[in-house]
A and B are shown apart, each in its own frame.
Chain A
Amino acid sequence: MTLLLNGAPQTVAAKTLAEALAELGFAGRIVATAVNGDFVPARKRAETHLSEGDRIEIVAPMQGG
């Protein structure tokens, strides 16, 4: 299916958020996730099933003021 990953279209074979993170190379990184604007805690990624067109946000620590 095709997701909108951090604003860009991305086709994945994954069915869940956890699988998508692994497939896209984010496994083991310190990131937080949201699906369609809602926060998804790390412990719920494996049970979060994705649908065509879902908006996935993957964020990480960054400089800030």
Chain B
Amino acid sequence: MASFYGFEPQNPLFLGTAQYPSPAILAEAVKRSGTEVVTVSLRRESSGGAGQAFWALIRELGVKVLPNTAGCHTVKEAVTTAQMAREVFGTDWIKLEVIGEDDTLQPDVIALVEAARILADDGFKVFPYTTEDLVVGGRLLDAGCEVLMPWGAPIGSGRGLNNPYGLRSLRQHFPDVPLVVDAGIGLPSHAAQAMEMGYDGILLNTAVAKAGDPAAMAEAFALAIRAGRQAFAAQPINARDMAAPSTPVMGKAFLA
């Protein structure tokens, strides 16, 4: 069981809270999936106080929250957002996003490393949304991160694991670092694939929230993650190019 800054979830599905058809369906998705951590954000508060009702709902669910810095494009914005999130949500966890490119929402990894260092030095437990780049991963660990969250594919794209080779390399390069595939997951099979590689968790939102039945899909993801994790622990075989008969050849009756 991987430890995320000392927290060891039974179910390593990190579920986003945005884009659900209703608060009730969000709550049902969280319950049915058994997720223990949900992601949240900070946005300008309206005079009507929409944020207060949302926060009451999340607290009722009794899950841990991982606030994000979604939409931040600079170190300064991300750091200020993290500071505000720590006060509002009462947690030093932060999902650090510093966006570098708007079409792909690819992280600006240079700014990400700088922001991660500032926040880690200030006592934050940083979950950086990064790419599968090994060198950047090393820099983030040097900056004080104890978890890495490489993207599977662009946020919301549902494309799955765009670069399985790169993700596998990252896993092998950092065997002891908790790794979470964050973003781009579309199907439970994508999540299972990442877990089969030895990833420690999956963070997703759109694939559940925008499904026809979000609660059922959330449960499907939980099952896939469990299956993938068990498969990794059970040590999968290596693929080969040619057939290898599974039924014994010896003793076959001669009937030609």
Contacts and interface: CB of A to CB of B under 8 A. Distances in A.
**A and B from one assembly?**
yes
Interface of A: 6-7, 24-26, 29-34, 37-39, 41-42, 57-65
Contacts of B89: 61
Interface string B29-58: 000000000011111110101111011001
A48 to B, nearest CB: 14
B83 A64 contact: no
A65 B155 contact: yes
A64 B205 CA distance: 8
B96 to A, nearest CB: 13
B45 A63 contact: no
Contacts of A61: 40-42, 51-52, 54-55, 58, 88-89
Contact of B84 (A7, A24, A29, A39): A39
B51 A65 contact: no
B80 A26 contact: no
A32 B81 CA distance: 9
A65 B39 contact: yes
Given A31-B88, A61-B42, A62-B54, 5 more contacts: A31-B45, A37-B80, A42-B87, A60-B43, A64-B67
Nearest to B203: A65
